[in-house]
Structure 1
Amino acid sequence: MAPTTPTPVALITGASSGIGLAAALALIEKGWAVYGGARRVDRMQQITDAGGTAIELDVTDDSSMTAAVERIVAERGRIDVLVNNAGYGSYGSLEDVPIDEARRQFEVNVFGLARLTQLVLPIMRELGRGRIVNISSIGARIYEPLGSWYHSTKFAVEGLSDSLRLELAPHGIDVVIVQPGPIRTEWNTISRESLLERSGQGAYAEQASRMHANYTRVDEGPMSASPEEVAQTIVHAVTTGRPRTRYAVPFSAKAIVGLRRLLPDRMMDAILSRLA
């Protein structure tokens, strides 16, 4: 009798809504054992109902991350894929955003991602294979006024991911970056509201108001996509034999990334300044 192929196991962070939830459900549908992690376990009932496992996971709490990884290994003996999706956008002028909030942005978007990766790597190295999918953003390829802290975190995620890809290749572990553009999730509302909260008054108020209006139009317009579209890209990235290093999604994101490659900084400045 041929040996049974073990069910592949995925850990997805930020799985209580949006892209993380959609990716968890999509992988469960493909027959994967999926652990969806988030602080709000009560918001992951869909994952449980679909046959996955919802676990409490706070990417700013080392003991929470350690406990989550230990539980998965105890129950499954392996982790094949880590999808680092947890993150948020904190907007406002550099002058207006408190340094404590800037540090929190890096804790969630960069250091939490890096620490959880540290925790799963020994397991993947023992297996001799694995895949890490880091959810970045087209914000790692472009930039915006009043978005310096958020963009800094995504530039950092991509630099980390590129170095890590080479570092882990000898161990059979691949690193893939997914760059979402405008996606219809609660992330958009949180980021827009932070813009007004931090810079809606004072020297940057006019910029903040125009950007808020423009973001609302983009997020609700034809350039935006559903979380399920990004989820399908994630499924492809973790199941294909030889993934690309980067996937921009949807088509509008591909167009923006392509434009950035072609245009010099000053021309890009002029285009992006129209947002503000």
Structure 2
Amino acid sequence: MNTTKKTRVALVTGGSAGLGLALCRALAARGWDVVTDGRSEEKFKEADLPPEVTVVIGDLTDTDHRAELVAQVERRGRLDLLVHNASTLGPLPMRPLADVDFPDLMHVWRTNIGGPLVLTSALLPWLREADGVLLSISSDAAVEHYGTWGLYGASKAALDHVTLTWAAETGLRAYAVDPGDMRTAMQQDAFPGEDISDRPLPATVVPRLLALLDARPESGRYRAADLAEADG
């Protein structure tokens, strides 16, 4: 493996909307070469991402799609940042654990923990070569216990654990970050019919993520609200 490309490279899953989209735009504005993915080509058309962002349409749980993401990294010859942002709430409307069945569990687990785990394994050599950063978007539901959020919260707790285990096993900087409530389509799905206009927009969280990437503190679980904002 020979990392010769000087431009920093990031792979951000789930970049068609919400926090993933805002982060892709911010990294591109900073001069990063960004690769992102998502299931909806139509959403990406609406997103109108800058040319520095390469879009790969597909589902993270699909083997061929993950192979294409790996191929995108291989073409660039380096990977400085891997962001696990893509996730699912599971069946809607959200329901208590007593009403959840095995297919529901498998769907959430494959998307929120299985895909990220296998993708990280495949990209680990590139991250290690570049002394890169692994960043997983978590949730307060990973550590708190809210009715109907059990399935999603358990998957995020598992993602936190796997992310920080990668740090322990590899020495890479790895962060699980709770971004807090945001005004996103996923948040609206979780609270159908409710007014969520009081939630901050995802773009307000991005400067705090950038500050974390700039500072590169010890690996761990962080709350975006506790992080300073990046300059510029």
1:38 match = 38
What is the alpha-carbon distance in structure 1 between the residues aligned to residue 107 and residue 57 of structure 2?
19
2:156 match = 154
Please state how far the C-alpha of 1:70 moved relative to its aligned partner.
0.9
Structure 1 counterpart of 2:135, which letter? V
1:164 match = 166
2:67 match = 66
1:51 match = 52
Equivalences for residues 1-276 of structure 1 within 5 A: 6-45=6-45, 46=47, 48-74=49-75, 76-90=76-90, 91-125=94-128, 127-169=129-171, 173-193=172-192, 216=194, 219-221=196-198, 224-242=199-217, 245-250=220-225
Structure 2 counterpart of 1:181, which letter? G
What is the alpha-carbon distance in structure 2 between the residues aligned to residue 109 and residue 226 of structure 1?
22
1:206 match = none
Please state how far the C-alpha of 1:128 moved relative to its aligned partner.
5.0
1:72 and 1:50, CA in 2 relative to 1: closer, same or farther beyond 3 A?
Answer: same
Gap runs ≥5 in structure 1 = 194-212, 254-276
Task: Give the structure with the larger helix fraction.
Answer: 1
Q: Deviation per CA, 1:215-263, whole angstroms, max 9, x where unpaired?
A: x35x333xx2210122222222323343662331347x9xxxxxxxxxx
Contact 2:173 2:219 survives alignment (8 Å) = no
Gap runs ≥5 in structure 2 = 228-232
Q: Deviation per CA, 1:120-144, whole angstroms, max 9, x where unpaired?
A: 102223x151111000111112111
Q: Deviation per CA, 1:101-160, whole angstroms, max 9, x where unpaired?
A: 2210111111111111111102223x1511110001111121111221111111111111
What is the alpha-carbon distance in structure 1 between the residues aligned to residue 126 and residue 64 of structure 2?
18
1:31 and 1:84, CA in 2 relative to 1: closer, same or farther beyond 3 A?
Answer: same
1:192 and 1:100, CA in 2 relative to 1: closer, same or farther beyond 3 A?
Answer: farther
- TM-score normalised by L of structure 2: 0.86
Number of aligned residues: 220
Equivalent position SS for 1:36: strand
